[in-house]
């Protein structure tokens, strides 16, 4: 039985596993959605090779599309198909420690390191499609945090971000709920152990320390204050409290929230018309300036 003595070391150990989850294979391919893609790799500033799919569009814009923690870029192909219909070039990528991308065993400053994945993909897409329209980044669940964190400096090549099922304003309560309600890709035995309060507290504190982020980005001192944002929120999200997302969005003058009658990461499946309409309207307004 997990007690006050064993709970903290177990929580700390499982926090490290959160950022290096068991790898999943790609369960879908671009061709399954009628998309023609070129497979490639992108190298980050710290030397991690990211596995990517390049999907050319009509040049209405360029989109960098990630995925949730423990998943792969194949989980985001429905969103890629939506963007492609709107004329966007799309670059889908596996984050480090996920899918077919390289491994990173670092335990510090992980928010910055995961944001480097986005920066590398932005640079690669800009080089490949230099004359396209606005460049947007789309994150999902836990990867919405590095998506927003990519705007932490004043200068940014990103014109807008989209965030599905996150992020939240406060890291510690978000992590406690994330692991307790099944968002973390952990074995059933580990999730059971994390029901003990001391393990949960150690898990959340260790994960926050490993991220090493000043959160959230300051709207008055970074590109987050001038960048349009769309937060897609499931009102029945059991993993990340929708109130946390609304509280975060209120800090940014160019952010909007689209609330959908669905759960975590299920908007494009369970509320497809509303989901597609929210994204389409947001990108149309972005293009109009």
Domain boundaries, the chain: 7-288
Q: What is the pLDDT of residue 192?
A: 64
Give the separation between CA 260 and CA 161, rounded to whole angstroms: 18
- Where residue 114 falls among pLDDT bands split at 50, 70, 90? very high
pLDDT (mean) for 185-195: 62
| Residue 177: per-residue pLDDT | 82
Mean pLDDT for all residues in the chain: 93
More confident residue, 190 or 134: 134
Question: Is residue 186 over pLDDT 70?
Answer: no
Give the residue with greater pLDDT, 274 vs 239.
274
**For 159-184, what is each residue's pLDDT tens digit?**
999 999 999 999 998 888 876 655 55
Query: What topology does CATH give the domain 7-288?
Result: Rossmann fold (3.40.50)
Residue 270's pLDDT is 97
pLDDT digits (tens, 9 = 90+) for 216-270: 999 999 999 999 999 999 999 988 999 999 999 999 999 999 999 999 999 999 9
């Amino acid at each position: 039985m997990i007690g006050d003595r064993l709970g903290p070391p177990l929580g700390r150990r499982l926090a490290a596993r959160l950022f290096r989850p068991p790898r999943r294979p790609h369960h879908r391919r671009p061709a399954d959605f009628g998309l023609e893609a070129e497979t490639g790799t992108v190298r980050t500033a710290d030397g991690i090779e990211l596995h990517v799919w390049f999907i050319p569009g009509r040049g209405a814009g360029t989109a960098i599309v990630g995925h949730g923690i423990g998943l792969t870029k194949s989980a985001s192909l429905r969103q890629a198909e939506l963007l492609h219909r709107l004329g966007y070039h799309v670059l889908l990528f596996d984050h480090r420690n996920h899918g077919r991308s390289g491994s990173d065993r670092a335990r510090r400053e992980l928010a910055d390191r995961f944001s480097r994945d986005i920066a590398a993909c932005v640079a690669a897409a800009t080089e490949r499609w230099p004359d396209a329209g606005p460049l947007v980044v789309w994150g999902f669940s836990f990867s919405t945090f590095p998506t927003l964190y990519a705007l932490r400096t004043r200068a940014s090549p990103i014109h807008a971000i989209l965030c599905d099922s996150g992020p939240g304003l406060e890291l510690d309560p978000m992590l406690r709920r994330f692991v307790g309600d099944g968002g973390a890709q952990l074995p059933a035995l580990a999730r059971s152990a994390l029901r003990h309060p001391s393990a949960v507290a150690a898990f959340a504190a260790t994960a926050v320390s490993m991220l090493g982020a000043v959160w959230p980005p300051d709207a008055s001192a970074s590109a987050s204050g001038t960048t349009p944002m769309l937060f897609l929120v499931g009102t029945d999200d059991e993993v990340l409290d929708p109130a946390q997302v609304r509280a975060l969005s209120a800090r940014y003058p160019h952010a909007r929230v689209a609330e959908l009658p669905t759960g975590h990461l299920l908007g494009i499946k369970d509320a497809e018309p509303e989901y597609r309409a929210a994204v389409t309207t947001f990108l149309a307004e972005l293009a109009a300036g």
